Amino acid sequence: MSCIAAQSLAKSYSGIAAVDGIDLTVQTGQIFGFLGPNGAGKSTTIKMLTTLVMADAGNLSILGIDAAKSPLEIRKRIGVVLQQPSYEPTLTVKRSLEKYGMMWDVPAQLRQERVRRLLADFDLTEIQNKRNEDLSIGQRRRVQVAREFMHDMDLLFLDEPTVGLDPAVRKRLLDYLKDRAGAGLTIFYTTHVLSEAEYICDKIAIINRGKIIAVDSPEELKRRFGQEKTIKINIAERDERIRDLLEDITDCRVEFDSGTEVTIRSEQSSAVLSRIFGILKENDIEVEELSAVPTSLEDIFLKVVSDAPDS
């Protein structure tokens, strides 16, 4: 049984599709990364998956439970950290955790143990008696995430939990999530930072403009794109013919700027390069400068996103 199974899930606001018919399968114990730029539809998806927002169309089963029929059954078994901050300003950090445990009917002794554990795990012990309103954005975010671990759950949704965290704290949180997933928790994790998804996720779906444009393991994404090199060629003089001459070369993507620079991305960079040199030589086009570097995964992500239809 899949932990999350969604088919053709869609949601529009005032006739504009925020999520435009997506399919998702998440297996138990996975950390599933949902990666996309701002406005892509990540939060809307999380709200549908957590039954906070009703989908306009599609089928959704969470933990084997039909979301349209029994949303409350689902809510009992999941944890949700939404993107927007939610805290009671005058409560202290410690009290926030305690109160959350009470809300979920966690027995008193277990509650105390968990509070102590989470304060330590999330590096909040020193500020446990501070009020939420006196915390920094990053500290509040940590309280918001820590609090969710007060109760037992089978599936945790996190909507951009690391925004506002400095790199060391961010890494700590990611490692903590990895540990919990190792112990059996399934995690659905949204981010707009590819390196984060790469670090913790078993599988990554890339969403853009409400549509999923790639789903793969980080390793497979790397294998698919990791061989790629970005070649930049600067020709000595602007030449109108170059567009036509280079446009039909296979196994690469060619971009022209308005001046003398040509950018080529290819997995067969040496073969492509020798063909390009051949063509340039035949046509007496002089190369002034050349560089070739591996395409970074961030660039690949941006490229995949900007290549999607309608952009």
Ligand X SMILES: Nc1ncnc2c1ncn2[C@@H]1O[C@H](COP(=O)(O)OP(=O)(O)O)[C@@H](O)[C@H]1O
Rg (CA), the chain: 24
In 3D, which of 65, 5, 35 has the Cα closest to residue 191?
Answer: 35
Minimum distance of ligand X from residue 146's CB (angstroms): 22
For residue 239, CA distances in Å to 191, 251, 257 come to 42, 23, 12
79 binds, among Mg ion, ligand X, none (CB under 5 to 8 A by kind): none
Select the binding partner of residue 39 from ligand X, Mg ion, none (C-beta < 5 to 8 A, by kind). Answer: ligand X
Nearer to ligand X, 36 or 58 (CB): 36
Which does residue 41 bind out of Mg ion, ligand X, none, counting CB within 5 to 8 angstroms by kind?
ligand X
Q: For ligand X, which residue of 22, 31, 32, 43 counts as binding (CB under 6 A)?
A: 43
* HEC readout, 227-292: CCEEEEEEECCCCCCHHHHHHCCCCCEEEECCCCEEEEEECCHHHHHHHHHHHHHHCCCCEEEEEE
Q: Is 42 in the site for ligand X (CB under 6 A)?
A: yes
- Name the site residues for Mg ion (rule: CB under 5 A): 42-43, 83
Smallest gap from Cβ 129 to ligand X, in A, equals 34
85 binds ligand X per the rule CB under 6 A: no
> For ligand X, which residue of 15, 38, 240, 311 counts as binding (CB under 6 A)?
38
Counting contacts by CB under 6 A, is residue 33 touching ligand X? no
- Confirm or reject binding of residue 55 to ligand X (CB under 6 A): no
**Interface stretch with ligand X, choices 40-48, 57-65, 229-237, 247-255 (CB under 6 A):** 40-48
Q: Of 83 and 234, which has the nearer Cβ to Mg ion?
A: 83
Residue whose CB is less far from Mg ion, 43 or 208: 43
Please choose, from the candidates 165, 206, 2, the residue with its C-alpha nearest in 3D space to the C-alpha of residue 81: 165
Q: Is 84 helix (H, G, I), strand (E, B) or coil?
A: coil
* 41 touches ligand X (CB under 6 A): yes
Q: Give the other-Cβ count within 10 Å of 44's Cβ.
A: 22
Contact segment (CB under 6 A) with ligand X among 33-41, 98-106, 217-225, 301-309 equals 33-41
92: helix, strand or coil: strand
The interaxial angle of helices 108-121 and 137-148, nearest 10 deg, is: 140
Q: Which amino acid is it at 8?
A: S
Of the residues 39, 64, 182, 294, which one makes contact with ligand X according to CB under 6 A = 39
Cβ neighbors of 35 (< 8 A, separation 6 or more) are: 190, 191, 192, 194, 197, 204, 205, 206, 207, 301
- Name which of 40 and 231 has its Cβ closer to ligand X: 40
Contact residues for ligand X, defined by CB under 6 A: 13, 18, 36, 38-44
